[in-house]
Amino acid sequence: MATRGGLHGHGRGAGGGAPAGRADRGSARRRPYRDRADGPDGPGAGGERGPARTGPRRRLGAHHRRPAGRQLRRRGDRLRDRDPRGDLARLLYEASLPGTEYLFDDTVTALEQDADGVTVTFERAAPRRFGMVVGADGPHSVVRALAFGPEREFVRPLGLYTAWFTATDDLDLDGWYMMHNAPPGLVASARPGRLPGEIKAGLSFRSAPLAHDRRDIAAQHELLARRFARVGWQAPRLLRAMRTAPDFFLDSMGQVRLDGWSRGRVALLGDAGYCATPLTGLGTSLALVGAYVLAGELATAGGDHRSALRRYDEVMRPYVGQAQQLPPGGAAGYAPSGRLGIRLRDLSMRRMTRWPMRNVLAAQFAKAGNIELPDYGRGSQLPGRLQEFGV
Ligand SMILES: Cc1cc2nc3c(=O)[nH]c(=O)nc-3n(C[C@H](O)[C@H](O)[C@H](O)COP(=O)(O)OP(=O)(O)OC[C@H]3O[C@@H](n4cnc5c(N)ncnc54)[C@H](O)[C@@H]3O)c2cc1C
C-alpha cells in the first residue's frame, strides 16, 4: 500500500525522523577524512566554559562564516568536479578549506600510538605523525577498527537493509515523500531530488545480517531485484533506475555503541562513534554537535587531551543516548512484515499531523536540540588553539 505521508519536502531520514539535513552520500569512492590545520597563527583568546543558554542550532550558527563569495564558490566547484556530494558536505568543505589539508583517495592502514602522538600509515601517502587522530569515517570506520577493535563488537544491527540512489524519473510526486510497504518487511520509497525530474529512491528490506560484499554492486542489484520482484506500485521502475544510478549504495542499518569514544590519542566522531541510523533522523545533528564539542574541548583544554576527551564524553553522552532511542516500533515500525502492521503504519502516516502522532513526531524532532552547548569562545579562534594537537 503506498502512503502519501506527512513528510513533505526534503531532508527527512529514512524513517521520517527529524528534519535535520544530511549530506547526500555519494559513490563508494573513498573520501577525505583527515584534516591538518596549519591555519591561523597562534592561540586565540581563551573562551570560558559554561552552560549555554542557546540550543545547538544557534550556537553552531555562531561559528558559521558566510562564504567569501566568489573565492569559495570556485573552490567548491573543484570539489564538485571531483566528487559531487550534497550541499552540506560542500558547505563544510568550503568553510574548512583555509588552514586544512585534504588528502583525497587515500585511507589509513595503521595507527601507532605512544605518549606524544600517533604515527599514521596511509595506503598511498607517506606515513605522518599527528598529535591526535579523529575518526569521522562513518559507521564502518576504519579508524575505529584499527584503534578500538572489529566492527561486530560495536555495531548493533537493526535487521534492516536500505539501498538509496538518485534516479531520473517523472514520477508525479508533487513534492511528497511517497512510501510503499509490502510484506514481508519491504519498503520502496521516492522523494523529490534537488533538480527537476530527479528523485531520490529507497529500497529497504528486513533481514538478519547478510554476508554481502559491500563493493559488489552488481550482486547487490540482483539481491534487490529478487527481494522486490513481486512488489507492485513503482517498484519495477525503481529497480530499473537502480541499475544505472550513479550513486547507488546498499547498507545495513546498525547503531554504533561504545562505552568510550577515545583510546589514548585517537577519538571517534559522528557515525563512527555513535551512529543512530537514519531511522532517527538525527545522525547529522549528532555529527555536527559532536564536532563542535570535540573541537571546543580540545581548544580549551590547554594541551591536556585526556581532560578534553573526558569532557567530550560527558557532554555528548546524554545527547547521544536520547538520540539513539529509536522512534516507536523501530525497524519493525518502519518496515512491518504483515498486512495488519502495514495498515497500522499507513494509518499512523496519514495521521502524522494530528494527535497523537503529531506529538510523537514533535518529540522526535525536538531531540536534535536537546543539549545545552558549552560556549568555547569565538569559532575563528579555535583552529589556532587546535594546533597544539596537530589537528
Ligand atoms: C539514507 C540516509 C538517510 C539519512 N537521513 C538523515 C536525516 O534525515 N537526518 C539526519 O540527521 N541524518 C540522516 N542520515 C544520517 C547522516 O547522513 C549521518 O548520520 C551523518 O552523515 C554522519 O556524518 P559523519 O560525518 O559521521 O559520517 P559520514 O557522513 O558517513 O561521512 C564519513 C566520511 O568518511 C569517508 N570514509 C569512510 N571510510 C573512509 C576511509 N577508510 N578512508 C577515508 N575516508 C573514509 C566517507 O566517504 C565519508 O565521506 C541519513 C543517512 C542515510 C544513509
Pair 146, 268 in one domain:
yes
Which pLDDT belongs to residue 388? 61
Q: Which CATH number is 71's domain given?
A: 3.50.50.60
Q: Which of the listed residues 225, 254, 283 is the one where a domain comes to its end? A: 254
Position 24 scores a pLDDT of 28
Q: What is the CATH number of the domain that holds 224?
A: 3.30.9.30
Same domain assignment for residues 387 and 267: yes
* Whether residue 109 has pLDDT greater than 50: yes
Query: Nearest CA to 80 among 90, 70, 71, 72?
Result: 90
Domain check: are 267 and 234 in the same one? no
Whether residues 143 and 266 fall in one domain: yes
**Ligand 1 pocket residue status of 13, Cβ below 6 Å:** yes
Q: Is 287 in the pocket of ligand 1 (CB under 6 A)?
A: yes
> Per-residue pLDDT tens for 192-232?
988 888 999 999 999 999 988 888 999 999 999 999 999 99
Q: What angle do CA 139, 183, 238 make, to 5 degrees?
A: 65
Atom of ligand 1 at shortest range from CA of 290: 26
Q: Is 10 in the pocket of ligand 1 (CB under 6 A)?
A: no
Same domain, 277 and 303: yes
Strands 133-135 and 266-268: parallel
Average pLDDT over residues 107-111: 98
Give yes or no for residue 73 having a pLDDT over 90. no
- CA of 162, closest atom in ligand 1: 1
Q: In terms of domains, do 260 and 224 share one?
A: no
280 and 261 in a common domain:
yes
Residue 174 domain boundaries? 154-254
Q: How many domains does the chain have?
A: 2
271 Cα to the center of ligand 1, angstroms? 7
Express each pLDDT in 55-66 by its tens digit.
554 454 333 333
Does 190 lie in the same domain as 133?
Answer: no
Q: Are residues 240 and 319 in the same domain?
A: no
- Average of pLDDT values for 94-107? 92
Is 23's C-beta closer than 6 angstroms to any atom of ligand 1?
yes
pTM: 0.80
What are the grid coordinates assigned to 51, written together? 552552560
Same domain, 216 and 312: no
- Select from 233, 254, 275 the last residue of a domain: 254
On whether both 53 and 108 belong to a single domain, the answer is yes
Q: In ligand 1, which atom is closest to the CA atom of 107? A: 42
Q: Same domain, yes or no, for 362 and 293?
A: yes
Q: How far is the CA of 25 from the centre of ligand 1 (A)?
A: 7
Q: What is the pLDDT of residues 294-347, one digit of tens each?
A: 999 999 999 999 999 999 999 999 999 999 999 888 999 999 999 999 999 989
